[in-house]
Amino acid sequence: MAKSRLKFTHQSKNIFITAIILLLTACTTSLPQQPVVEQLLQDKNERAEQLAQLTSWTIKGKIAFIEGDDKQSANLYWQQDNNSLQLKLTSFLGVNVLTLSSENQQHVLTASGKTYTDDNLEDLLSQVSGIRLPVKALSYWIKGLKAQTEDVVLYSQTTQLPETLNAWVNNTYWHIDYQQYNLVNNYRLANKLSIKHRELTIKIAIHHWDIN
């Protein structure tokens, strides 16, 4: 009788293990698949021409500003439509930190309950943050494109996608690292990058690209 019970317990264990394996397999196959290298591979000149035509897009994600021991993080919303843009930074509790609206060379920035206007976007940002952020150049860099012909791009040997971009804007040096890409509507776009300028590092994690 004891032998019969032992045999039954052994069979039960086999059934239990098989069920677990099937469950894990089902969970694995249900997860969204990351693009493989072959999907991301694209000729660099073809990609540059393709993305040069992409002038309307929206990104949502997170952004962090790190300078020395000081670190500030926020949720990021950036909508670009040709030369106009809407940029919003909110805290993790949804509190508005900064709102920037730019259209027809008129720029309005709201931060800390105060509103600032200027016809020079870099001057406007400098008034508030003390940093002359090259927003126009950033709208190219975020796509992994040169903002000017003098910019220097180093490409991955496996995917031919940009790995780093080095640029001089207003006599100041900027360095961009592209750490991760995703395939979005047949566009190869970065979803993780960092931008370095002097002692400042800006880290951007893009959770969603919306191609308009």
**pLDDT tens-digit map of 12-39:** 545 444 444 444 444 444 444 555 677 8
Beta bridge partner(s), residue 63: 74, 204
Task: State in Å, rounded, how far the first CA of the chain is from the last one.
Answer: 72
Q: Which residues contact 192 (CB under 8 A, 6 or more apart)?
A: 178, 179, 180, 204, 205, 206
* 74-114: pLDDT as tens digits: 999 999 998 899 999 998 877 888 899 998 888 999 988 88
Query: Minimal CA–CA distance to 142: which of 93, 97, 184?
Result: 184
Q: In this structure, what token pair is assigned to residue 1?
A: 């009788």
Query: Which H/E stretch holds residue 60?
Result: strand 56-67
Has this prediction a pTM greater than 0.85? no
Phi, psi of 209 (to 5 degrees): -100, 130
Token pair belonging to 112: 């800390």
- For the chain, the average pLDDT equals 84
